[in-house]
Amino acid sequence: MTSIQTAEVVVTSPDRNFVTLRLTTEDGLVGLGDATLNGRELAVVAYLREHVLPLLIGRDAHRIEDTWQFLYRSAYWRRGPVTMAAIAAVDVALWDLKAQAAGMPLYQLLGGASRTGLLAYGHASGRDLPELFDSIRDHLDQGYQAIRVQIGVPGLTAVYGVAASPRAGGGRYDYEPAGRGAYPAEEDWDTRAYLRHLPAVFDAVRNEFGPELPLLHDAHHRLTPIQAARLGKALEPYDLFWLEDATPAENQQALRLVRQHTTTPLAIGEVFNTIWDYQELIREQLIDYVRSAVTHTGGITHLRRILDFAAQYQIKSGIHGPTDISPVGMAAALHLGLAIHNFGIQEYMKHGTRTDQVFHQTFTFTDGYLHPGDQPGLGVTLDTDQAGQYPYEQAYLPYNRLTDGTIHDW
């Protein structure tokens, strides 16, 4: 038995807010877990500080499964993003500790490498086609070999996922201070305008960049099932790697209709947090990729369970990895992705330089492929002095209104 000696939550905001769990054991090891829930960060901090950390002191750090079940079942109140992000942070910190104690990179404890590297996709965007093309070229220059394409819609002032100032950052939308401040930013939306515009955009991108480049698109839950079916069908000639979050995610049956009408591969799940959210989607093979984050889905223990279930139905991973996943959460995704058989693709946006000074990482991105590195554990350390220099800043995700003022899904 190796008991947990200290448990603390570190909140830091180098380029955006991050919540990190830091566990130490009696033999002096430090394990990290990501608990960042974008726009609701302090809810997870309170859940951990008030209800979870006191339970961890003195527990055996090596009993990962038992601790997971204890936190999940003993709370009585199950599931939900706050609970599952808190459990995820504990789970990942324990895996980090166990792998350090074993003197191995974490992926070795998960079964060892199933591949040499993880194909990553980056986020290109532009308000119009020339900006989008520049952004795609910028991503190709950085080495990306798969690209998510988001574009402004004529008549709309701001579209989520589309960079407002494309020349800075290569057209990368930051998901960062999307709305630092006391109130969420409001964006506008018109589904018919979007559906008219998007096929022509993919036609232009294919003409410019050729047939081979894997292209992805995120519809951010904005469509009804019949609209999603129509979009998937219209995009078939452009051979998308996936269409993501075509409909609001909580209605699993909605995907049946979409699936009946299109062969465009479907990805879903970044807002899901348990295996139950995927039950029908996986069993009925209504999707092709699981989008959950390690950070929001109960950690490595639970996401592995979902992905093993998915593997029986030829469904692959597409683990969530925008900048609101901290380097700790990203490293966890990379170890898991390297080990499982049904890896699909990994989302990857580089963090800002201040974030890299707070979190020292050993994972690498070379020629479009990620690798978690071979340091014992996760391979990420937290510089607590640096972290202390960036206090929490209130920030909200933006929200959406239709042109008549109705609040819409996003």
Using CB under 5 A as the binding rule, the residues of this chain from 277 to 306 that contact Mg ion are none
Catalytic residue among 220, 296, 320, 335: 220
| 174 binding Mg ion? (CB under 5 A) | no
Residue 250 burial (CB < 10 Å; 0-12/13-18/19+)? exposed
- DSSP code at position 15: S
The C-alpha atoms of residue 104 and residue 299 are separated, in whole angstroms, by 19
Active site residue 408: no
| 176 binding Mg ion? (CB under 5 A) | no
Q: Tell me how far, at minimum, the Cβ of 180 lies from ligand KDG, in Å.
A: 14
| 131 binding Mg ion? (CB under 5 A) | no
Q: Tell me how far, at minimum, the Cβ of 84 lies from Mg ion, in Å.
A: 18
34: partner contacted, choices ligand KDG, Mg ion, none (Cβ within 5-8 A by kind): none
**DSSP alpha helix (H) spans, 262-377:** 279-283, 299-311, 327-339, 353-358
Closest CA to 146 of 406, 365, 335, 337: 365
| 324 binding Mg ion? (CB under 5 A) | no
Closest CA to 84 of 18, 17, 37: 37
N-to-C CA span, the chain: 47
SS3 state of residue 290: strand
131: partner contacted, choices ligand KDG, Mg ion, none (Cβ within 5-8 A by kind): none
Q: Which two tokens stand for residue 248?
A: 């609001």
What x-and-dash track marks residues 29-68 binding Mg ion by CB under 5 A? ----------------------------------------
Active site residue 194: no
174: partner contacted, choices Mg ion, ligand KDG, none (Cβ within 5-8 A by kind): none
Own/partner long-range contacts of 246-252 (Cβ < 8 Å, ≥24 apart): 246/219, 246/221, 247/221, 247/223, 248/221, 248/409, 249/221, 249/277, 250/277, 252/277, 252/278, 252/279, 252/280, 252/281, 252/286
What x-and-dash track marks residues 257-276 binding Mg ion by CB under 5 A? -------------x------
Positions in the binding site for ligand KDG (CB under 6 A): 38, 175, 218, 270, 320, 322, 324, 347, 397
Of the candidate spans 128-136, 214-222, 309-317, 383-391, the one that interacts with Mg ion by CB under 5 A turns out to be: 214-222
Question: Which stretches of 203-271 are assigned E, i.e. beta strand?
Answer: 215-218, 242-244, 266-268
Q: Tokens 């609970």 sit at which residue?
A: 83
Q: Tell me how far, at minimum, the Cβ of 358 lies from Mg ion, in Å.
A: 25
Catalytic residue among 107, 121, 160, 173: 160
175: partner contacted, choices ligand KDG, Mg ion, none (Cβ within 5-8 A by kind): ligand KDG
Provide the binding-site residues for Mg ion, judged by CB under 5 A: 218, 270
Q: Supply the residues annotated as catalytic.
A: 160, 220
